[in-house]
Amino acid sequence: MKTAFWFRRDLRIYGNEALIEAVNEGARDALFFYCKPQWQSHNVASIQLDLLERRLLELGSQLSEFGIRLHIIEASTFAELPAQLQVVCDDKGIDCLYANKEYEVNEVARDEACETVISLKLFDGDLVAKPGSVLTGSGEMFKVFTPFKKAWLKCFVGQQFHFSSWPLDKQHEANFKKPTFFEMTNESEKWPVDDNAIVTIVNRFIKDKLADYQDDRDFPAIKGTSGLSPYLALGIVSPKQLIAQIQLHYPEVLENPSKPEFCWVNELIWREFYRHLIVAFPRLCKGFNFNDKYNAVRWRDDSQAFELWCNGQTGYPIVDAAMRQLNKTGWMHNRLRMIVASFLTKHLLIDWREGEAYFMSKLIDGDLASNNGGWQWAASTGCDAQPYFRIFNPITQSEKFDPDGSFIRTYVPELKNVPAKHIHFPHDYLAAFGGKEDYVEPLVDHKEARARALDAFKV
């Protein structure tokens, strides 16, 4: 039996247990199906596709040093893959493919179709805990994060994670060529794709920032976050690898969830939670509210307000700065994601699905499960959601998390001369001292918008 490996969103050699097992079984060919039209139909951002292409070139070169050839095959849709897979496997005499699971409904259907033409051996390499392994006492999926986290921790307390050793030495290089259909734009060039640089980023975060992450993570003007989300989204690093690396410095991190260094691990568990949810409730991949009772909410159809929100022209500086950061860089600080999502769904009363799609079309770290979970949390339609009567006040959020306006001034330069005392809602100041014409008027009044949202959600 001849074995090969099928890469998906697990674009790494080290810490890829499925790949290592395939190589141990003699695999010297690897496949990647490049389905750009399929991904674009689901709003995958161009900056993420650029990062994907850059990483694939790095991966192909890296594999070639170990005598493994990466074949990047262009396809339009997942529906084409069984036939293409049959041709490739017949041509190379491949009988079995090893791969890591993807949990979205289209990807699950793709694998089921492909299993009719080739034997697939699938692993859960994108998660620490397999879906279905962290359940309530009655055997059901948790619907609230905190008890899920406690049950998750019980599974792994006392366990030391480690890296699976790579089984091959470098040898004569296999031939690898850049695919002609790549349209690289270098949009993602601020994120390096070689392993040495990524290891440096991981180590610096753990050594220099992890202990302060709990205190710094909510302040967008501080570089207090890890910057690893794009690499997690494409599987360039895995959560197991990251926990293993953290345990080298904090061996009892899983035993002490009250310690500051656990705070970032908690974010990895949130990531697990959202993935377990889309497996247990596949309808989440199809745009359904998790909580059916909010199907009765009547969202406003206001394309002009939505466009102004997208472009960072709402008249609320923290919201506008956040959206401009997203549009300019392809990334947004996590605290700001919550603020702008709350503003769209509560202040503007626009359907969370519109915001979810826009985020996916812009984010370099776009990920269906986490993006969907975050939006439904903010919109109060989801699992473990923010209660509908809790509506983020963008002014007080700005005062608390960007107190001197440093972040706002970075992305809303028309407010650069506004004193910190007034920058969080500068309209009265601008009217009194000039410059009112330089910044947009607020789309809504906070109190009025809040009252409207409460009325809408009372259904």
Kindly report the average pLDDT of the chain as a whole number: 96
The span from the CA of 291 to the CA of 36, in Å, is 32
The span from the CA of 95 to the CA of 120, in Å, is 9
Detail the residues annotated as belonging to a binding site for FAD: 213, 225-229, 264, 267-274, 365-367
Give per-residue pLDDT as tens, 169-186: 998 777 888 899 999 999
Reduced to 3 states (helix: H, G, I; strand: E, B; else coil), residue 105 is: helix
Give per-residue pLDDT as tens, 194-229: 999 999 999 999 999 999 999 999 999 999 999 999
Contacts of 354 (CB under 8 A, 6+ apart): 306, 344
Please check whether residue 278 is in contact with residue 103, taking contact to mean a CB–CB distance below 8 angstroms.
yes
Give per-residue pLDDT as tens, 138-157: 999 999 999 999 999 999 99
pLDDT of residue 384: 85
Please check whether residue 330 is in contact with residue 186, taking contact to mean a CB–CB distance below 8 angstroms.
no
* Strand ranges, E, within 115-178: 119-123
The span from the CA of 94 to the CA of 320, in Å, is 52
pLDDT of residue 435: 78
Give per-residue pLDDT as tens, 88-120: 999 999 999 999 999 999 999 999 999 999 999
The span from the CA of 358 to the CA of 98, in Å, is 34
All domains in the chain, ordered by first residue: 3-123 (3.40.50.620), 127-163+195-280 (1.25.40.80), 292-457 (1.10.579.10)
pLDDT of residue 81: 97
Please check whether residue 64 is in contact with residue 173, taking contact to mean a CB–CB distance below 8 angstroms.
yes
- Kindly report the number of other CB atoms within 10 A of residue 219's CB atom: 18
Q: Is the pLDDT of residue 127 over 90?
A: yes
Residue 341 has, within 13 A of its CA and on its CB side, a CA count of 29
- φ, ψ of residue 269 to 5 degrees: the values are -70, -35
* Range with the poorest average pLDDT among 4-18, 174-188, 238-252: 174-188
pLDDT of residue 456: 95
Detail the residues annotated as belonging to a binding site: 213, 225-229, 264, 267-274, 365-367
Reported as type and span, the H/E element at residue 30 is strand 29-34
| pLDDT band for position 410 (cuts 50, 70, 90) | very high
Reduced to 3 states (helix: H, G, I; strand: E, B; else coil), residue 6 is: strand
* Helix boundaries (H) for 26-129: 36-40, 46-64, 81-92, 105-114
Reduced to 3 states (helix: H, G, I; strand: E, B; else coil), residue 99 is: strand
Give per-residue pLDDT as tens, 48-93: 999 999 999 999 999 999 999 999 999 999 999 999 999 999 999 9
Which one, of 200, 195, 189, lies nearest residue 237 by Cα? Answer: 195
* Range with the poorest average pLDDT among 162-171, 279-288, 404-413: 162-171
The span from the CA of 147 to the CA of 135, in Å, is 10
- φ, ψ of residue 150 to 5 degrees: the values are -60, -40
DSSP secondary structure letter of residue 164: P
Please check whether residue 100 is in contact with residue 18, taking contact to mean a CB–CB distance below 8 angstroms.
yes
Using CB atoms within 10 Å of the CB of residue 295, give its burial: 0 to 12 exposed, 13 to 18 middle, 19+ buried.
exposed
Reported as type and span, the H/E element at residue 375 is helix 368-379
Please check whether residue 98 is in contact with residue 25, taking contact to mean a CB–CB distance below 8 angstroms.
yes
What the block records as the tokens of 410 is: 């970075």
Give per-residue pLDDT as tens, 337-374: 999 999 999 999 999 999 999 999 999 999 999 999 99
Q: Structure pTM?
A: 0.96
pLDDT of residue 459: 77
Mean pLDDT of 413-434: 95
Q: In three state form, how does the secondary structure of 407-448 look?
A: HHHHHCHHHCCCCCCCCCCCHHHHHHHCCHHHCCCCCCCHHH
Give per-residue pLDDT as tens, 375-393: 999 999 999 888 888 899 9
- Kindly report the number of other CB atoms within 10 A of residue 114's CB atom: 23
Catalytic residues: 267, 270, 299, 334, 352, 375
pLDDT of residue 1: 79
How far is the CA of 163 from the CAs of 24, 53, 244, in angstroms? 16, 26, 7
- φ, ψ of residue 368 to 5 degrees: the values are -55, -50
